[in-house]
Amino acid sequence: MYWLILGALCVLFAVTALVLWQKWAAPWPQIEQLVSQIARGEPPSTFLINGGAGPHRIGLALENIFARQQELERQIAGRESGTQTILGAMQDGLLVVDARRRITLMNPPFQKLFELRDPAVGVPLVEAVRHATLDQLIAETLLTGAAMRGELNLADSRTHSERHIEISAVPIKNADDEVTGAVVLFHDITELTRLDQIRRDFVANVSHELRTPLSILRGYLEVLFDEPQTSREELTRILSIMERHSKRLQRLVDDLLSL
């Protein structure tokens, strides 16, 4: 009788242990597999976990976590796509560096301006772009925490000409007002510089052309005032010269008005 009771207790203990193992221990390999797949971003074939209500609730929670993760990834991808679209549509070059002057972002116009084949993200600025003026301006911005402006002259290997670039550096600050980086804009003013030079040359030429007849007219007027007894022949000659230069002056004025 004793051995019968002992055997029954052993069987009961074994059955109880088996039930507990199936309820609590058996689901853990499935749970571990689900967690690993979610961490890798892989969609699990099912979120159903065997073992009762507890593991089933864990499966539902993991399903919600995975759905939320997928939604966040879609939002991030959408924002990155929008950011890249904006950066690509910009006409000006854009460069972002961190406090150690490592490149964290650049747009295609910047790459084209400095003839970079690929984005040099994570690379020190001095390794990607060797330009002392640019490096010094960014260093001053990071050091002082103030916006800086300057100009660069860059050689264009495609056109074998020089490009004039206006640069503006603005510091990036955190909530504690600490400088954590800088944003730098590059505006190509080559055409503006060329047009300004044309304007300067034009003004210089026009000034010269206007000054010559005016000086002649003024000189002869002074002669007439100083020498009222000028002979008729000399007076005729002077008036003829003044008429010729007044007509020249009129033509210059007409040409200017027709521009």
Residue 37 pLDDT > 80, yes or no? no
How confident is the model over 159-180, as pLDDT tens digits?
777 888 899 999 999 988 899 9
Q: How many CA atoms lie within 13 A of 26 on its CB side?
A: 13
Residue 84 pLDDT > 90, yes or no? no
Give the pLDDT of residue 50: 61
Altogether, the residues listed in the chain come to a count of 259
Third-level CATH fold of 194-257: Helix Hairpins (1.10.287)
**pLDDT band per the 50, 70, 90 thresholds, residue 77:** low
The rounded mean pLDDT for the chain is: 76
Of the two residues 10 and 135, the one the predictor is more confident about is 135
Give the pLDDT of residue 80: 65
Domain ranges of the chain: 2-85, 91-188, 194-257
Give the pLDDT of residue 13: 46
How would you label 45-76 residue by residue, b for 16+ Cβ within 10 Å and e otherwise? eebebebeeebeebbeebbeebeeeeeeeeee
How confident is the model over 90-143, as pLDDT tens digits?
788 899 999 999 998 888 888 888 888 888 888 898 888 888 889 999 999 999
Calpha distance 100→179 (Å, rounded): 11
Count of C-beta atoms within a 10 Å radius of residue 91: 7
Q: What are phi and psi of 145, to 5 degrees?
A: 70, 20
How many percent of the chain have pLDDT more than 70? 71
Order of strands across the sheet that contains 103-106: 103-106, 93-98, 179-188, 161-173, 148-156
Give the pLDDT of residue 10: 46
**pLDDT band per the 50, 70, 90 thresholds, residue 184:** very high
Calpha distance 47→38 (Å, rounded): 11
Please state the rounded mean pLDDT for residues 139-154: 91
End-to-end CA distance of the chain: 126
Calpha distance 147→168 (Å, rounded): 7
Calpha distance 224→239 (Å, rounded): 10
Give the pLDDT of residue 45: 61
Third-level CATH fold of 91-188: Beta-Lactamase (3.30.450)
Residue 20 pLDDT > 60, yes or no? no
Give the pLDDT of residue 216: 82
Total H helices, total E strands in the chain: 8, 5
Of the two residues 17 and 74, the one the predictor is more confident about is 74
Calpha distance 217→229 (Å, rounded): 19
**pLDDT band per the 50, 70, 90 thresholds, residue 11:** very low
Give the pLDDT of residue 108: 86
Give the pLDDT of residue 19: 45
